Structure 1
Amino acid sequence: MNHLRLIASFLLALALCACASSPSASQKADDGHTAQSDPVETDTRKPGTESASLSPLHADGTQLLDDQNQPVVLQGYGTFGINSKPEFVNENTFRFLKEEMGSQVIRLAMYTAESNGYCTSGSQDELETLIDKGVQAATATGQYVIIDWHILSDGNPAQYQGQAKDFFGTVSRKYTGNPAVIYELCNEPNGRDVTWPVVKSYAEAVIQEIRANDKNALILVGTPQWDQAETEAGKDLLKDAGNMMYTVHFYAATHKDQQRQDLSTAYEQKLPMFVSEFGITEASGNGALDEQSGRTWIDLLDQDKISRVAWAISDKDEASSIFKPGTDPDSPSLSDLTEWGQWLRKVYTGKDTDDDKDSQGTSGSSEETAELKSGDNELEVSLKQSNTWQSDGMTFTQFDLTLTNHSDQPVTGWSEALQFTKDVTINQSWNGEISASGSSVTVKAGQYHTTIQAGESVTDIGFIVKSDGVVEQK
């Protein structure tokens, strides 16, 4: 008799669950091109995670909305390249960001070319496993997760279009129906010939791969000039792409009134925008924090209800890392936050870290690094002009630097002086300490390339100069 009662109770429970899981008409969005389709049978969410509590997201006009058509403004944090900082793809770190730092979304930045890139020297199997670990860790902590195809030195996304199609085909099959997963197709397209039509053609091809598996997933598409040519996209929108938005990036110490005006112009063009990377340092990721410009940016994003993701979940010794060097990813604390991390916490949560961190103790972390010996040989220097454009009566020119150590000794603490035909000022720079005086530009070893090993070539250092006319190297 007891067995019969148990069986009857079990069957009744199954019936009730079946009824509860059937979607009602009111649960389906009815907003034209962004309407949500009926739920698919495949559910990639693991039991016990919090992804079930996350609403499917869709863009309508300029706004990101949930499944009840209510505006959503996500705020969160992006990893440094998972290729070089895999230890921070960590559920404990993500949970700290959620509970202490106001995070709602994690961006997984997977470099495609440099730093053991997915399309060059990296292990694709290991990187795909790391992406899956990141997706599971983010959803386990109740956060959305952006899978970021992080092009940078390979500025034209079409260069690895075939690999991108295969990758997004694979992950979109794997995560079909998971409302937490967002796909970002191309971080910061850049280069002389990388115009919006080039990026648009690439995006159309990759979106087709995703839509073959998932009709409703949110897709983010980058714009040229390091995600700062959103107004060009606004003049020629993607067609039949479904649920998608365009990405904008800024670093507040470099990008100020002009870039803010561009964002406002794109908003007036009814462009759905998502800031998938930002900081308040210089565009290089280093330099002093410009809190005033940063606050102006945040106010503008709040005004237009634009989501934002801060760079970077890292303990690298640079101004744009939110953690101090030596932070343990398994047990981060408020005492581990850099000045940038503390600023973000206050902006995201309204909490002043100085008032709270004493309660967590001062675990501290060592910032000592081993002293490296320098070689005696000079480096071979190659400078390439890769892009030039006009803006506000000024000429902007991008130069990419290659340094090759032909000696049999590592070279440390190097410095190179470059001469140009005109006086210049530095507009942006990356992966080195770069300064200008008159027509001379000095490039010094930054934290990222302090030592260049014997036989090694470094190709990801570069800068953009501003001048009153065409400038060339002497």
Structure 2
Amino acid sequence: MRVKSLFNLVRQSRSVLSVLVFAGSVFISVGVLAVEPLSVNGNQVLIGGKTGSLAGNSYFWSNNNWGGEKYYNGNTVSWLKSDWNSTLVRAAMGVEDDGGYFEDSAGNEAKVRTIVDSAIANDMYVIIDWHSHYAHTHDWNQAIQFFKRMASDYGHTNNVIYEIYNEPKQVSWSHDIKPYAESIIGAIRSIDPDNLIIVGTPTWSQDVDQASYDPIQGYANIAYTLHFYAGTHGQYLRDKAQTALNNGIALFATEWGTVNADGDGGVNYGETDRWMSFLKTNNISHANWSINDKVEGASALVPGASANGGWPISNLTESGNKVRDIIRSWEGNTPNPPNCNTINLPAKIEAENFCDMFGVQVESTADAGGGSNVGYIDSGDWMSYKVNVSRSGQYVISYRVASQGTGGVLQLEKRGGSPVYGQLDIPNTGDWQNWTTIQHTVPLDAGEQEIAISAQSSGWNINWLNIQSDDGNPNPPDDIEIFIEAESYTYMSGVQTEATNDIGGGLNVGYIDAGDWLAYHDINVPTSGNYKIEFRVAALGDGSLSFERAGGSPVYVTAEVPDTNGWQNWTTVSMTVYLDAGVQNFGIGVPEGGWNLNWIRLTAQQQ
């Protein structure tokens, strides 16, 4: 009997410490494994057979003399486990570039083994990453032999995850990536039958939807790589990921950043939180890029930070601080979803913009307007929303719902369950994406409060709710101000974020050229009327901007941006614009570039 076969036997009961072979006899020392096996069931990577997700860190490229290799030691792994509460690390072994595996195979493999051994010793999961952009163009046998060694030496543990192609560039999934992946997977599976294998996807591991249309067949426990950087990638990439999930493949975010896709720029807090909500809701594990002290936004450490862990907060970058907070609070906690701001009524509220929830998931919707809806709703699930009711009275609340089967029962309540404002029966609409609108009238007291939608019975989806005063006189507040940080865009093209010297600090949007644009979605305009709109700008030369509906039409106003004699010499440009009430998507267009933008402010003008 081969030792590997015995390992497989004892792994099924999640127990093994060592196997000793003497004179043809096999002796097994049995103990409880410290981490649960990972397995794929549909679009979920299960942890010990249960839904959940891991949060941790990716090391920088292992390449010699690139700067990040000094952190490839057991002390940093132990510190990430004890101080950051990381459950996952990723050894990013550079392959074809200078100082990588093709140039120094022994040295780079040794670094990987150090991280793997340390992760196992610290009861963590570890990704062994073939960190290449061109793996399918090289001699596949080099990857095959490497992963066979890893599988032979570590495949008996539950800790190890194989990432066989980091970030393919813009190449064909079916013609280029998939054949390579099937070859490497076959080699690994000849030794390790069940540890998780993750496969890169086209366009720097963003086109996960392409893989979902032609997934790898014949092998168990295969997941697909999703990479994103919050400063560059927004809802459009989450929509692609949602398509992949809907098509039934499991995703794993083996690399992500809080900053721009080039690894630089400031932290995009709003988009980072949106991504964390998406990952948590869909049980997608993730590893942040990167443990390094390089002078770039994505680095977790400031230059000169110790190579052996023990980092005080002062040794962490802005990104490092944000990521540490995310990881430390990940297990057993649900991060707040995007747009958890107090909404002034009357307003239309997208269902997925809840402030908190229990049990539900977010998915792409086929309803008019696109975007997302809330689904997978079971009895006892709920979502909550913070609202500001301008005055006490009766309010008509409409709900956009769909159901396949017997329908369900929706209850509107104050968060916590009491008081209950009303219930509605949800009809069978014939399909999860056949939508109808139902409504009732309920009393609401004035003031800021958190309302909730709870499921009294399961089997329905919800896209949005619309809350309007029953008497047609919502009596909006006298002082309405909408403040938008420029870097909190939903989508953009061409721009970058950077640190600002303006009052209040933080970030501004810069590197703005003609034809660039920014979009800000789900902006609640409480009442129709004239608004003073202010743009906080700086420029080295003259430029212009347009304030418009996202997509470019209509254009509400165009403003000249004056030369302020410096990229950080700030001034405020203001004008008047008429806006209709409701939740809207606004855009900033760039007829002439050469300026920076820090914030936008809308203030209602008294009639």
Fold match, TM over 0.5?
Answer: yes
Shift in CA distance, 51/204, structure 1 to aligned 2, threshold 3 Å: farther
- Asked if residue 55 in structure 1 is aligned to residue 36 in structure 2, the reply is yes
**Bigger relative contact order, structure 1 or 2 (CA pairs below 8 A, ≥6 apart):** 1
Deviation at 1:331, TM superposition (A): 3.9
For 2:195, the equivalent position in structure 1 comes to 217
CA contact (8 A) 1:106 1:145 kept: yes
Cα deviation for residue 52 of structure 1 reads 3.1
**Structure 1 residue 40: Cα displacement:** 11
In the alignment, structure 1 residue 349 sits paired with structure 2 residue 332: no
Q: Which residue of 2 aligns with 1:301?
A: 279
C-alpha distance in 2 between matches for 1:102 and 1:253: 25
- Equivalence map 1:138-217=2 (5 Å): 138-152=119-133, 154=134, 157-191=136-170, 193-217=171-195
Q: What is the match of residue 53 of structure 2?
A: 73
Q: Deviations over 1:237-262 (max 9, x none)?
A: 10112211111000011001110111
Is the 2:53–2:285 contact (alpha carbons within 8 Å) kept by the matching residues of 1? yes
Residues 331-410 of structure 1 mapped to structure 2, 5 A cutoff: 331-334=309-312, 335-350=314-329
What is the TM-score of this pair, normalised by structure 2? Answer: 0.50
Establish whether residue 287 from structure 1 lines up as the match of residue 287 from structure 2: no
Verify the 8 A CA contact 1:151 1:157 in the aligned structure 2: no
Structure with the largest fraction of strand: 2
Q: Against the structure 1 CA distance between its residues 427 and 151, is the aligned structure 2 distance closer, same or farther, given a 3 Å change threshold?
A: farther
The 2-side partners of 1:151 and 1:260 are apart by 24
- Identity value in percent: 30
SS at 1:53 equivalent: coil
Alignment partners' CA distance in 2, 1:428 and 1:236? 35
Q: Secondary structure at the match of 2:289?
A: strand
What is residue 256 of structure 1 aligned with on the other side? 234
User: Aligned pair in 2 of structure 1 residues 198, 51: CA closer, same or farther (>3 Å)?
Assistant: farther
Q: Which has the higher helix share?
A: 1
Alpha-carbon deviations, 1:417-442, whole Å to 9, x = none?
xxxxxxx964899xxxx9574599xx
Q: Structure 1: 5+ residue runs without aligned partners?
A: 1-20, 29-37, 352-423, 441-474
Shift of residue 312 of structure 1?
0.1
Any residues of structure 2 matched to 1:432-447 within 5 Å, and which?
Answer: 437-438=513-514
Is the 1:148–1:186 contact (alpha carbons within 8 Å) kept by the matching residues of 2? yes
Alignment-derived partner of residue 107 in structure 2: 126
Q: Distance in 1 between matches of 2:267 and 2:83?
A: 22
C-alpha distance 314-128 of structure 1, shift in aligned 2 (>3 A): same
Amino acid of the residue matched to residue 221 of structure 1?
Answer: V
Moved over 6 A (4+): 38-41
Q: 1:61 to 1:41 in 2, by over 3 A?
A: farther
| 3-state SS of 2:138 partner | helix
**Alignment of 1:116 onto 2:96:** no
Q: 1:181 to 1:24 in 2, by over 3 A?
A: closer
Aligned to 2:71: 88
State how far apart, in whole Å, the 1-side matches of 2:280 and 2:85 are. Answer: 15
Cα distance between partner residues in 2 of 1:149 and 1:320: 20
Deviations 1:138-192 (A, max 9, x none): 112221110000013x3x523242211121122111212111111000011003x
Distance 1:182 1:427, change over 3 A: farther
In the other structure, the counterpart of 2:367 is none
Name the counterpart of 1:376: none
Q: How many residues align?
A: 326
**Alpha-carbon separation, structure 1, partners of 2:315 and 2:11:** 47
Amino acid at match of 1:109: A
CA distance in 2, matches of 1:326, 1:350: 27
Tell me the amino acid that sits aligned with residue 155 of structure 2: T
> Counterpart in 1 of 2:220?
242
- Letter in structure 2 aligned against 1:210: I
Deviation at 1:332, TM superposition (A): 2.7
Inter-partner Cα distance in structure 2 for 1:22 and 1:186: 30
How far does residue 42 in structure 1 lie from its aligned partner after superposition? 5.6
Distance in structure 2 (CA, Å) of the matches to 1:151 and 1:436: 31
Distance 1:77 1:161, change over 3 A: same
Equivalent residue number for residue 403 of structure 1: none
Q: 1:327 to 1:40 in 2, by over 3 A?
A: closer
Give the whole-Å Cα distance in 2 for the aligned partners of 1:168 and 1:321.
28
3-state SS of 1:76 partner: strand
- 1:158/1:199 contact within 8 Å kept: no
Q: Which of residues 318, 324, 328 is equivalent to 2:296?
A: 318
AA at the equivalent of 1:215: P
**Alpha-carbon contact 2:231-2:496 (below 8 Å) kept:** no
* Residue 266 to residue 332, structure 1, CA distance change in 2 (3 Å): same
SS at match of 2:301: coil
Q: What is the one-letter code of the residue matched to 1:189? A: P
Paired residues of 1:51 and 1:180 also in contact (CA < 8 A):
no
Quick one: distance in 1 between partners of 2:42 and 2:276?
A: 21
* 1:232, distance to aligned residue in structure 2 (A): 0.7
Residues 1:101 and 2:84 are matched in the alignment: yes
Structure of higher CA gyration radius: 2
Distance 2:218 2:288 in 1: 30
CA contact (8 A) 2:173 2:211 kept: no
* Cα distance in 2, alignment partners of residues 247 and 223 from structure 1: 6
Which one-letter code corresponds to 2:225 in the other structure? T
- Rate the CA distance shift 1:168–1:256 in 2: closer, same or farther, 3 A: same
Decide whether the 8 Å contact of 1:77 with 1:312 is kept in 2. yes
**Distance in 1 between residues matched to 2:32 and 2:119, nearest whole Å:** 9
